[in-house]
Structure 1
């Protein structure tokens, strides 16, 4: 099994001064590109020289140098996210220019280093892979099934009541699926078979 990826438990920030320029890294957990870009817009400082950013959500990622020389800001921020083993994270590093040019290598170290330090000190939570199950049961069995599956972390996402019973959809941690399927079979004495929906 691959190593567990983490995201941030909450937003975090870290600032440092590097050769008279002030750098402020702000990071947040995000679930979609729209959420990542909304965070970038929300924390970008209008009075700053540059608001450079990067985000990664699964296989999707984007970065932006916001006027700094190509490859000196956004990519090092993205590398900081990946280097910390994080996913579903957006980072904005804001720079207020202090009059001393840092050069390409200095910029990459400043942006990447400020982002990495912000992420290094942040509280993390493991990303749990989720799965969806569907099943059909009698009205009388619904409450018991929901209660016993809740013990495995299952959350009902949809219930449709029909003349012949209830169609139930649940979301639960992927590693609990086999256990949930056994529990459903046991509780219904083999009459109900759950099926994975994804």
Structure 2
């Protein structure tokens, strides 16, 4: 049996050998690519929509009024389509300054998340502690929102101080808000 051998080199697939058997006029092809059988090219990445991230990170001090006035402390703007899911993650460092001559304090704090000015989630923090020094508390929060209409959506984190006892100041420093929209299937 006599063979004609041709060697082809493909940078992506490795080395391919083509054997032509003259007597039976058959074509056999054997490809080697790191001891793996023939591979077709695969896509290099996702072909559909990609998740979108909007965020705000801040470290400046913002004093929250003790009189119950709502204060917007974080904002993120994201473009999404109707019924798309948006995951909102936030963390806020809350600093509480106390009257130094009292051994205890109490505080009611409300953290509201708004979508285009409408409250979609509320977390209430009530502190009643016997502690005479200042406090620093981290408030984490996660919420998944389903966008009601296509277009630009603005998410706000709003803090409101309710009732206080022996608290002289509430402020925030380190804080972050991430809004991640996931494409529809």
Query: Which TM bucket (shorter chain)?
Result: under 0.3
TM-score after normalising by structure 1: 0.25
More strand by share: 2
More helix by share: 1
